[in-house]
Chain A
Amino acid sequence: MSSSVEAITVLSSDGDEFKITVSAAKLSKPLNWMLEDVCFSDDCDEVPTIEVNSKTLVKVIEYCEKHAPRANSGASDSDAEELKKWDIEFMKMDVKDILFHILMAANYLHMEGLYDLACQTAADLMKGMTVSQIRKIFHIKNDFSSEEQEQLRRQHPGCSFD
């Protein structure tokens, strides 16, 4: 890879092209390996595909670009504070439409920071959800018999099956 390259082009699983700067791509281990293995110069035909849909990839790249300067150079406390606020705003998204996709993408792309952030966001959202809402987003069927439900309720008065 030539050192003059500042951004690379990748394809989403939907076939759309996206640009990502080299420093941002380094936040992901698999992307970093790609940088080392694949030719990214302008005359190279091969555009690597990332198995993430376009809608999710836009968000992942946005996160990478925001976090890259800090990851590469370290940051002051005020920067870290600013970045935390940005993360909170960034994570204001729908669970089933996008957050779960981001979780899977961050896991697949080995992006520890984003993965932790997304897992924590999902956990925080679940605190306010009913059991049936949670079953729905995790595709789970209630497999307790009515006797078993009754027993659990007796053991834990706070339990609710709805």
Chain B
Amino acid sequence: MEQTVINGAAPYLSEEITINILKRLPVKSLIRLQCVCKHWENLFKTPFFIAAHLCQSHQNPSFIFSHDYLLNNLPLRLLDYEMHLRDVQKAPQFDFLASASCVGSSNGLLCFVIRVGSRFPISLLVWNPVTGDGREVPISRNVDMDEDDYVLGFGFSPLDNDYKIMAIYSKYGFVSGVDIYSLSRGSWKEIESRNLENVSCYWRTIYSNNGAIFTYGIKNIEDEEVEMIVSFDMGKEVFTLIMISWPPLWRNLNFSLAVYEDKPAIITTSVVRGSSSNVDLWVMEEDTSSWSWIKKFTSGPHPWVFKPGIIWRNEIVVSGFEIGGKTEKHEQCLCLFNITTNELKTLEIRHCFRDFVNYVESFVLI
């Protein structure tokens, strides 16, 4: 091993060691360090470095949330792993009043559905907030909001190293077809979805880092409504239906689909006695041959009104306001419940939040 020392100067590090240090720096620092030399500036754009940095970034995840409707840009805020809050820069601008909601996030790429007003989807946007690069993707089918509906998902498929958008279309309440957009191919294609016949798919999807997208479903079997979780394998592009009643009392609760240790989970925030709330986490666990919901966490009652969000690191993230507290209804807080210690942290933030999405900063190209 060579250890050249010149008058107390630092020894020369090999390229391998230098990269191992640099990949641990946050995006903000790397943008600054592009100015060190041309070699570093180019290094940060190589697929090898981008992959190494992404891998490290997954250990320091942040999350993004958006607020407000009908704007001509996309205002987003970010809470980083050190609990620092900041605005996301380089937000896309629209030349019309749009409402955008987040479809999903994976490896530093965000996918939004852009609507004119608040109803008609016009396009999808895949965007990396770090580089500012984006790609607009047209919706694959015409959607007549009177009879049609759609559920969208976005994520990464490790199997074919590709990012995909999944669109489940429904007609009169039942699934009528599924299209997949591949970012590497740059086009949509319809996929086989016979097992979704007579299934109604609802609301949001959630992406799990192991390459699956989950959503809720209901199937009509002999006039009985059977509840299920629909799981989509991003690589094989097939759906699996897991017949499982949703956690009890869900109809009376606020709830959101989340991912806990790669498994589907549901965060519920119930109001008890009209003046306080409980926060619960249910995780879908496999037990020999059947699936069931295990209550992993419960906290409350709290004198708060909560809206469920996501699971971030070991915390359940919800938004809310304290009943009779010093914050007004429109000045909400972020509330983080530690799943292990039950500790509650609150962060005061203005505006109402609509979407929470897990996020890691990366230089991943589109």
Contacts and interface: CB of A to CB of B under 8 A. Distances in A.
A52 B21 contact: no
Interface centre among B10, B13, B24, B29 (most CB of A within 10 A): B10
Nearest to B31: A156
Given A96-B8, A131-B35, A158-B31, A103 B13 contact: yes
A108 interface: yes
Contacts of B1: 51-52, 104-105, 108
Nearest to A127: B29
B124 to A, nearest CB: 27
Main secondary structure of the interface of A (DSSP, over half): helix
A154 interface: no
A33 interface: no
Interface stretch (A17-25, A38-46, A59-67, A139-147): A139-147
B9 interface: yes
A95 to B, nearest CB: 7
B238 interface: no
B28 A158 contact: yes
B45 to A, nearest CB: 13
Given A120-B24, A123-B24, A104 B11 contact: yes
A103 B38 CA distance: 24
Contact of B13 (A97, A100, A131): A100
A127 B13 CA distance: 18
Interface centre among B32, B38, B41 (most CB of A within 10 A): B32
Contact of B26 (A52, A100, A107, A127): A127
A81 B16 CA distance: 30
Given A51-B1, A158-B31, A104 B13 contact: yes
B57 to A, nearest CB: 12
A34 interface: no
B39 to A, nearest CB: 8
B72 interface: no
B36 A140 contact: yes
B29 A138 contact: no
Contacts of B12: 139
A135 B16 CA distance: 17
Contact of A119 (B20, B31, B41): B20
User: Size band of the B side of the interface?
Assistant: 20 to 34
A139 B13 CA distance: 9
Interface centre among A108, A144, A160 (most CB of B within 10 A): A144
B36 A138 contact: yes
Contacts of A32: none
A54 B35 CA distance: 36
Contact of A144 (B8, B32, B35): B35
A134 B36 contact: yes
B323 interface: no
A104 B10 CA distance: 11
Contacts of B26: 127
B35 A152 contact: yes
A107 B38 CA distance: 26
Contacts of A160: 32, 35
Contact of A138 (B13, B24, B34, B38): B13
B55 to A, nearest CB: 13
Nearest to B37: A140
Contacts of B142: none
Nearest to A124: B24
Contacts of A127: 25-26, 29
B18 to A, nearest CB: 7
Contacts of B249: none
Given A103-B17, A119-B17, A131 B8 contact: no
5 contacts: A131-B36, A143-B39, A152-B34, A158-B32, A159-B35
Interface of A: 13, 51-53, 56, 95-97, 100-101, 103-105, 107-108, 115, 119-120, 122-123, 126-127, 131, 134-144, 149, 152, 156, 158-161
Given A105-B1, A127-B26, A134-B33, 9 more contacts: A51-B1, A107-B14, A119-B17, A131-B32, A136-B10, A141-B37, A142-B37, A152-B41, A156-B34
